[in-house]
Structure 1
Amino acid sequence: MKKIGILFGMENTFPNAFIERVNSKGEDGIIAEAVTIDKVIQAAPSEYAVIIDRISQDVPFYRSYLKNAALAGTAVINNPFWWSADEKFFNNALAEQIGVPVPKTVLLPSKQRPENTTETSFRNLAFPMAWEEIFQYVGFPAYMKPHDGGGWKSVYRVVNPQDMWIKHEETGQLVMMLQEEIVFDDYVRCYCIGQKDVLVMPYEPRNPHHLRYAADLKAQGEEREKLLETIKDYTLKLNVALGYDFNTVEFAVRDGIPYAIDFCNPAPDADIYSVGRDNFEWVVEAAANMAIERAKKQVAGQINLTWGTFVSQAVNGISAPAASPAIPSAEPAAAPAPEKAPKAAKPAASKPAPAKAAAGKAAKPTKTETPAKPAKTADTTPSATEVKVKASVPKKPAKSLGAIATEPIPVAEPAEPKVPTTKAAATKAPAKNSKLKKS
């Protein structure tokens, strides 16, 4: 007998429906139940062939239990090793490499130094950072959000550099991302199950939670069909690359182009009261079929996890696609100005994070039209004996991390920030003679 278990917390509708659906299919030698844990002994196998994980992101004990179970042969969905390593900033970088449009995004140091670190810990961090290039690349308005967060926590809309520095004061030890804002024409949320089944759901993130799926696409006719096909293609590409068997992907559509906004949701909302009965029915059926399929393929005593192409290609020595150009370097005053980010209308809500696409997950011009840089061939790479390594010492260690402390000022007309002298920050503002233009 092979058991399919589901590990969950507060949610009720999906886990119970999933168990009932699997058992209703009457598959010979397969049953489903809620996971029960009475002991966890190192390297000891669990009693489950498959476990659907819905809660370990919030319970470290469960995450460690799942890794131990996977080591002993359980097919854990989603892979707990990859889920532990994954984060949103990396996902954006990977999406760019595989040709899926994503927001222009940069990584920012935390406002406060992590615990048990000192000024010396950050001697490799430039002080100040290249703020002109960063702001020219992203543009304003923009959104600032945690690089590995979720649930709309600590998301800020910022309208200019000074506004960003002020709001960065509130972020503590969080490592943040800065992303361009996108005002979307359409917005969708897609379930992807088993890296093959995709359900595209029109979604309105500005509505109250229980009404977000009460929406429809504005695109119609041939335009709609083409858009849906592109969205499905991008959804599959992302989940195959990341190795997720149960995930959601959100896209903001601007000028007919779907931009991947959020695609790191390995325990996505599947409650009937939020997603609606039809969508709920689809995900229960797809998840049950996937779990049964995985149970049939599971081989006791061997690793039965799904690994994305990013990991499998690395293990097999296959080169990753060449990355697209990153932030443009600073140019002399006479050089052409860097491309400005598209202007975006302000979201309807007056508070930060009015819409998920515009909520810091702002969309990015597509990279699919940019030819990839050719990889270096073997004959152009210097041998080990030819490489000369020059030791370097950082110019200035950062004394602390984070946004510069400033006096509150009207955001609409930013003043030059006051640079502290005793507790200078790694995210120090540009000097007064900076070339940076006020927004």
Structure 2
Amino acid sequence: MRHLIGLLLGTEEDWPSAFETVLRRLGPIKGVGEFDVERVTIEPFDLRAEPRHALVIDRLAYWYYHPREWLKKISMMDDVYLLNSPFTFQSMEKHAAYCAMMRLGLKVPETVLVPYKNPPDNARYAYTAARYNQPFDLDEVAERIGYPLFMKPYDGGAWRGVSLVRDKDELHRAYDASGEMLMHLQQAIQGYDAFARSLSIGAETMVMRFRPEEPMHARYAVDHGFLSPAAGEEVVTIGRLVNAFFRWEFNSCETLIKGAGVHPIDYANACPDVALTSLHYYFPWAIKTLVKWCVFCVATRRRPRIDLETHDYFAVTGTYEERLAEYRKLADRYFETERYDEFCQTHLGHLDDVVLEWVAGPEFDRLLVDTVKTTYPENEHDQFVEHFRGLLRLWVKDQG
């Protein structure tokens, strides 16, 4: 049997090429069949047409509505498996995700949504604003939260429009510059001990030390012990909880760790970073895990879940620690974690060697060089080729 996986892409080339290579090198799986992959094109579609794909990885529809509607159709009508539900895309605009996780008791910093600085372009706005919009004191809102704070768009994305606000003058400069963006004001966690970004793919999570002040190629530090075991487990649980709650299976989560507190600050990313030039050392893990989860979902005929079943999560009571433990059970149930682990041991035991051989070989090196050449100016090619080669050689050494 042949199973086809579709890639719905924007501008990316590095990780899709890597995914295609690893999936095809995997070969037939006994009792399951062969896997193939293709890049999905955008064209008119009949709502009753039967799709050819068993699973689609989407990196485009969070902003491109035509393919988003195609995803909704193939999920609802044809049971094609999607790693991120198109029915909860608006929750990836951060606001709904903040609300849900606050209700579940997570330590989300104090957050307030303020009206637009400049009104939206709508003929009805002036009448509505004159009759219903209440005047508000921006300074009073900020002082209630406390300085420093962050002003950031409610829909987020690639750090667009994010400002650190330390006083009244910076507050008004940032708000004036926000224009027609709808903004949150959010308490800053001062003096945090660690910034963690965790990438979750299905039932697996990689927690990485993140340094937002560094250029992109240096933001992910190779540091395997920067969190205590307890904090690391809590970070993993928070990421899995968010993903199971919203039916997201390819997502990243940012958390700040200060003392015994783990504070999630950004955990709704429709297009999580999986670029070779940013993940570097962790790139092979991401590609391997993405292949494993896709194969598992197709092979076990895992079906898309449109019903969020939020009542199961909202019904959990107890202390913070007791609720986290119960949330982890609910997340593991959604991701079928035990079944996934068993499937990987039985059917994908050779994948580690497949990926290791590929990353250590000339084909991966060509991908690395080509990616650097399309990412950096010509005078920086040699520098960054050697930089990333060194990090990937370290990964190969650690695996070996």
Q: TM-score, normalised on structure 2?
A: 0.71
Q: What per-residue deviation string (whole Å, max 9, x for no partner) do you get for residues 341-381 of structure 1?
A: xxxxxxxxxxxxxxxxxxxxxxxxxx94899xxxxxxxxxx
Alpha-carbon offset, residue 188 of structure 1: 1.2
Counterpart CA distance in 1 for 2:313 and 2:212 is: 38
Counterpart CA distance in 2 for 1:217 and 1:137 is: 38
Does 2:51 match 1:46? Answer: yes
1:129–1:242 Cα change, 3 Å: farther
Does 2:309 match 1:312? Answer: yes
Aligned residue number for residue 211 of structure 1? 218
Counterpart CA distance in 2 for 1:85 and 1:97 is: 15
1:253–1:319 Cα change, 3 Å: closer
Does 2:286 match 1:286? Answer: no
Any residues of structure 2 matched to 1:354-433 within 5 Å, and which?
A: 368=320
Aligned residue number for residue 112 of structure 2? 106
Give the secondary-structure state (helix, strand or coil) at the position aligned to 1:6. strand
Alpha-carbon offset, residue 131 of structure 1: 5.9
Q: What per-residue deviation string (whole Å, max 9, x for no partner) do you get for residues 234-256 of structure 1?
A: 22112111221110111111123
Aligned residue number for residue 251 of structure 2? 247
139, 163, 167: which one aligns with 1:160 = 167
Any residues of structure 2 matched to 1:202-241 within 5 Å, and which?
A: 202-214=209-221, 216=223, 219=226, 224-241=228-245
Does 2:186 match 1:182? Answer: no
RMSD of aligned Cα (Å): 2.7
Task: State the number of aligned residues.
Answer: 313
Does 2:82 match 1:76? Answer: yes
140, 145, 154: which one aligns with 1:138 = 145
Q: What per-residue deviation string (whole Å, max 9, x for no partner) do you get for residues 392-411 of structure 1?
A: xxxxxxxxxxxxxxxxxxxx
**Larger radius of gyration between Structure 1 and Structure 2:** 1
Aligned residue number for residue 62 of structure 1? 67
The structure in which a higher percent of residues are helix is 2
Aligned residue number for residue 128 of structure 1? 136
1:319–1:57 Cα change, 3 Å: closer
Counterpart residue identity of residue 59, structure 1? Y
Alpha-carbon offset, residue 31 of structure 1: 2.1
Counterpart CA distance in 2 for 1:200 and 1:126 is: 43
Alpha-carbon offset, residue 38 of structure 1: 4.7
1:47–1:93 Cα change, 3 Å: same
Counterpart CA distance in 2 for 1:218 and 1:22 is: 31
1:161–1:119 Cα change, 3 Å: farther
Q: Which has the higher contact order (CA 8 A, sep 6+)?
A: 1
Give the secondary-structure state (helix, strand or coil) at the position aligned to 1:86. helix
Does 2:122 match 1:118? Answer: no
Give the secondary-structure state (helix, strand or coil) at the position aligned to 2:264. strand
Contact 1:244–1:306, Cα closer than 8 Å, also in 2 = no
Counterpart residue identity of residue 297, structure 2? R
Identity %: 26
Aligned residue number for residue 357 of structure 1? none
Contact 2:245–2:310, Cα closer than 8 Å, also in 1 = no
Contact 2:145–2:187, Cα closer than 8 Å, also in 1 = yes
Alignment gaps of 5+ in structure 2: 324-400
Contact 1:186–1:217, Cα closer than 8 Å, also in 2 = no
Give the secondary-structure state (helix, strand or coil) at the position aligned to 2:132. coil
